[in-house]
Amino acid sequence: MEYAIELRHITKTFGSVVANHDVSLDVRKGEILSLLGENGSGKTTLMNMIAGIYYPDSGEIIVDGKLVEIRSPKDAYALGIGMVHQHFKLIDVFTAAENIALVLDKQEKYNLKDIKAKAQQICERYSFDIDLEQKVYEMSVSQKQTLEIIKMLYRGAQLLILDEPTAVLTPQETEKLFAVMRNMRADGKSIIIITHKLHEVLSISDRVAILRKGEYAGTIDTAAADEASLTELMVGKKVELNIEREAPVNPHLRLNVHNLTITNAEGIKVLDQVSFEAFSGEILGIAGISGNGQKELLEAIAGLQHPEKDSSIVYYPDDDRDSTAEQLIGKSPKNIRDMGIHLSFVPEDRLGMGLVGSMGMIDNMMLKTYSEGHSPLVDRKGPRYLAEEIKDELGVVTPSISTPVSRLSGGNVQKVLVGREIAAAPSVLMTAYAVRGLDINTSYTIYHLLNEQKKSGVAIIYVGEDLDVLIDLCDRILILCGGKCNGIVDARKTNKEEVGLLMTRLAGKQEGGVA
């Protein structure tokens, strides 16, 4: 068997954290290998060592049967290894072709015409769909990713590493990517793909290598695997895949959003006349391809946007529809809080909006409550107690509750954020991509927390990307497309195909199919 790359006994530590311990795995020529593992299991670190970004503490890397040193991405390129990172390394103001030119060897001559011709060949060979003259800032996420892959192939990559490439793609784009990957495999290239989505693993890869807590847990042929067996290998124990869902108890109207329209700084309507109702004791799912107005919708309710006039967001504290209804438009987050309305909001950007990365858990606990009371001094007693509580109850792994939260892993950061928002005893709880990037265990912890809140009568708005989860977790699902509401469906009666269709169908062609 010919191997593209073999890793032997690789170990890598960061301070006291062991990211990889004694990992050995290999990739055959002309195969697609899925690298599977929970969050923090060391997948990205391992790949970074192949790509020359990190250097292993110990262990050997063998490429094409020869022991090699990979000290820098340059070494990796020279060995035919290319990695497409989660965060693209592109220059926004350059065109696609100019970005490709950036990877040129020193010896190569800079001739944009030749570069374009060669890149065009690659595109045709693997049927990439890209305009080489387009500037990167005009590109969609999917196009940028394509460009990254072309860049690597241009540089002569024989082994391509894709780090969670589908996380940012629509199902259709994912299919396109997979088609291209199969073309590359047919051409004899080897591909390592990191993903969390088990169905993708099963559909694209030849073999699956699994990492568990930084250690190698084994490789199995995809043909012999199913979701259950992969999950078991990954988490080490059997996890209940079904999400519990109970019928809403005594729901009553909590939020009435009417004609919500938001125009962004560029003058584009990011939300266009969106209307819906949210009920207590219910989880309302928001489905849609990333960037179709989900963020603005939640922020508008939280008082962080400036909706157009005629927009209306009315909050009802209890059964009485009229007496104490409050209009939220035009109110700042502080105004809303001062009105006694507990809106909790888990934003998509956890460290850039929901939390202060440089602060510890304690200081993050008081982000929304610090100003309470008349003393000019902050009171850290309550937040300290709350931080301890959340740490214990949600099992936040952190050296101390004073450690800056930016040093925690993604899952723990999310636990801190969700924990704080739930602790605020909300009447409305909004979450944006609450489980993005989280491993299965943590994801289920979050689902469980949401269901608890639902039971206690909170109106929950859940913006998600995984349709299976949306359909299993939510009571109703609102589908956003191009800033318009493309419909609200009963989650118990719908299926992925229906929701997926609503997500991609242009709102203009839709004739008022609101359920």
Cβ neighbour number for residue 470 with a 10 Å cutoff:
23
* Residue 332 contacts residue 343 (beta carbons within 8 Å): no
- The length of the chain is 515
b/e 141-156 (16+ beta carbons within 10 angstroms → b): bbbbbbbbbbbbbbbe
Site string for another protein, 443-472 (x = CB under 8 A): ------------------------------
User: Which one, 26 or 75, has the nearer CB to another protein?
Assistant: 75
Minimum distance from residue 280 beta carbon to another protein (Å) = 24
Size of the site for another protein (CB under 8 A): 46
Query: Parallel, antiparallel, or unpaired: how do β-strands 207-212 and 32-37 relate?
Result: parallel
Query: Parallel, antiparallel, or unpaired: how do β-strands 269-279 and 253-263 relate?
Result: antiparallel
State yes or no: residue 357 binds another protein (CB under 8 A): yes
Place of tokens 């262990």: 59
Site string for another protein, 301-330 (x = CB under 8 A): -xxx--------------------------
**What residues between 160 and 219 interact with another protein by CB under 8 A?**
none
DSSP 8-class letter at 167 = G
Distance CA 73, CA 460 (A): 45
The neighbouring-strand residues paired with 485 are 480
Interface residue with another protein, options 47, 63, 289, 460 (CB under 8 A): 63
* Residue 406 contacts residue 360 (beta carbons within 8 Å): no
Interface residue with another protein, options 5, 27, 33, 79 (CB under 8 A): 79
Phi-psi region of 299 (alpha: psi -120 to 50; beta: other; left: phi over 0): alpha
Minimum distance from residue 193 beta carbon to another protein (Å) = 25
User: Which one, 104 or 359, has the nearer CB to another protein?
Assistant: 359
The neighbouring-strand residues paired with 220 are 208
State yes or no: residue 333 binds another protein (CB under 8 A): yes
State yes or no: residue 376 binds another protein (CB under 8 A): yes
Edge-to-edge strand list for the sheet holding 66-68? 17-28, 3-14, 58-63, 66-68
State yes or no: residue 345 binds another protein (CB under 8 A): yes
State yes or no: residue 366 binds another protein (CB under 8 A): yes
Minimum distance from residue 402 beta carbon to another protein (Å) = 12
* Residue 383 contacts residue 391 (beta carbons within 8 Å): no
State yes or no: residue 378 binds another protein (CB under 8 A): yes
State yes or no: residue 78 binds another protein (CB under 8 A): yes
Select from 159-167, 307-315, 356-364, 444-452 the region that touches another protein (CB under 8 A): 356-364
User: Which one, 129 or 349, has the nearer CB to another protein?
Assistant: 349
Binding site for another protein (CB under 8 A): 14-17, 55, 63-64, 66-69, 71, 74-75, 78-79, 302-304, 332-334, 337, 345, 347, 349, 351-359, 363, 366-368, 370-371, 375-378, 399
